[in-house]
Amino acid sequence: MLRRTFLVYVLLTSFLVAPFSAANTVSGSNGVVSSRSQIASDVGVEILKQGGNAVDAAVAVGFALAVTYPSAGNIGGGGFMVIRLDDGTVVTQDHREKAPGSAFPDMFLDDAGNVDRRKSLYSAQAAGVPGSVAGLLDALEKYGTMTRQQVIAPAIKLAEEGFPLNEDLAGDFERVMNSMRDYPASMAVFSNNGQAWQVGDIWVQKDLAETLKRISAEGRDGFYKGKTAELLANEMIRLEGMITLEDLANYQPVWRDPIKGSYRGYDIWSMPPPSSGGALVVQMLNMLEAYDVKSMGWGSAEVIHLMVEAQRRAYADRAEHMGDPDFYPVPLAMLTDKEYAKTRFLDFNPEQASRSEDIGAGSWPLESLETTHFSVMDKNGVSVAVTTTLNLGYGNRIVVPGAGFLLNNEMDDFSAKPNEPNAYGLLGDEANKIEPGKRMLSSMTPTIVTRDGQPVLVTGSPGGSTIINTVFQVILNVLDHEMSIEDAVASPRIHHQWQPDMVRIEPGALLEGAEEKLTSMGHRELAPMGYGLGDANSILLRDGVMHGSSDPRSVGGASAF
């Protein structure tokens, strides 16, 4: 009780330092949705009220986010989906973007052999072939119960009739407006005739509405063929991009076997490669399972040290072994094996920090923090975790003229050059080099936790390399520290990723005296930061009631009935 009281005190007083948005936690017995947009969450619950299942609702939320949260919600990007069906089966879908057919390893190198970072981030060549539309529609066709017309209708209405801009969106649009001035179609959407949009303005997206109508009427052909595809391909030609009509027509999502692990009697289900997140979460939980995390206490030096050492080893393995499994032999059985985790942790010293330079070898890329995650659960236990992105916020800032949607800049998630730092100062290697048709490595980690076949937790997060550790800590908060979903999501977090050898710490993440003890253990750099580790919109089923919480670090919302 003392620890719990202290945690609540930390959270409340921390808000005064760096205020969170108002936490939004709801409960229901029929269905719950938690996302980065209250409007989108309400759309999902309305679909559930109409008799749809969680897959129907997730698809509706996905399309709605393309309208209401354009910096990361998208139809011009891609992502991953984990689904628990009503019979307990868990399936995963990869709708990650792919490199165009004309892509090649050195495409972002200048004449001197150096990476042209602007080209890899803010050009038409930065765009990978989008996967979101194909993924959402394929999931609906396989596991939904409603028509695409029904689930896309709310997004069409939002785009066509508009909705009032809140302070979050209006401010964000003003922030990025200058970076879009070279693209008239982008300025037509994200500025008000060249001026900043204001809070309360009704934001209408007519071109996007027409694109959504074509998808509604024609299915995937309404995006990957016909007018929308031609508009996209024509913009590629105009801006010397690489995506062709053939690339679009050939895109297919992939259904992959889920990563499955276990932790203290719970089953952990998550994404396999090209997402690295599922394997790393399972590996870190395997490392911690032998230790009494609960008795160590949330925020103590002992539990932070244990977590950091697990993170250090797992992220080093990510560097060495991860890539697109269609192009690179990823040793998943080894990485998720409990005996391997024990071996990996043999040199763990509970009194002394390791040095990252002594742990493993390799290097790895990182995608942007600007991703989004949403979670859905219905009364029959059907559960969906979806993480989706354009890479950087607003992708490459290019809106397709006449189509109204932004293009991604996911090509920067490849290694543009072995051992050359990417936009975030991190390195890449051969396993993630650019190749035609290849999917770029990701940290996205949509995850579902079950016990005895029944759903317990649906979670995930944006945040680039921090995604994996955000999901890891939400799981620990629920399973070890027995928190409510509100506290599990809101609790301050820490992040370590092997290289650079530093521990990033949100305010309030350490109990009193823990920082001094960690320093004495040899943790060389403890780096305080603001509240920037994740946006873990999650759902917890406890005692027969579904509880959904949007992460108070961002302006989101949960909805239930």
Provide CB contacts within 8 A for 95, sequence distance 6+: 78, 79, 80, 81, 131, 132, 134, 135, 136, 138, 253, 254
Residue ranges per structural domain of the chain: 47-79+95-252+390-414
pTM of the full predicted structure? 0.94
Q: What pLDDT was estimated at residue 428?
A: 47
- CA distance readout (Å), 460 to 36, 384, 465, 470, 474: 12, 11, 13, 8, 9
The string of pLDDT tens digits covering residues 490-544 is 999 999 999 889 999 999 999 999 999 999 999 989 999 999 899 999 999 999 9
Local confidence band at 4 (pLDDT 50, 70, 90 cut-offs): very low
The amino acid present at 235, given as its one-letter code, is E
The average pLDDT across 325-343 equals 94
Q: Which tens digits make up the pLDDT trace of 306-319?
A: 999 999 999 999 88
Is pLDDT at 7 greater than 90 in this prediction? no
Q: Are 440 and 78 in contact (CB under 8 A)?
A: no
C-alpha to C-alpha distance for 370 and 522, rounded to whole angstroms: 33
- Confidence class of residue 322 from pLDDT cuts 50, 70 and 90? confident
Percent of the chain scoring above 70 in pLDDT: 92
Q: Which residues pair with 32 in a beta bridge?
A: 377, 560
Which band of pLDDT confidence, cut at 50, 70 and 90, is reported for residue 417? confident
pLDDT digits (tens, 9 = 90+) for 250-290: 999 999 999 999 999 999 999 999 999 999 999 999 999 99
Report in angstroms the alpha-carbon separations of 336 from 135, 173, 226, 284, 305.
26, 42, 43, 9, 22
Residues annotated as catalytic are 371
Query: Where residue 3 falls among pLDDT bands split at 50, 70, 90?
Result: very low
* CB hemisphere CA count around 40 (13 angstroms): 30
pLDDT, tens digit, for every residue of 68-127?
999 999 999 999 999 999 999 999 999 999 999 999 999 999 999 999 999 999 999 999
Q: Which two tokens stand for residue 561?
A: 């009935």
Q: What is the pLDDT of residues 432-477, one digit of tens each?
A: 889 999 999 999 999 999 999 999 999 999 998 899 999 999 999 9
Q: Which amino acid is at 423?
A: A
Written as one string, the DSSP assignment of 228-252 is HHHHHHHHHHHTT----HHHHHH--
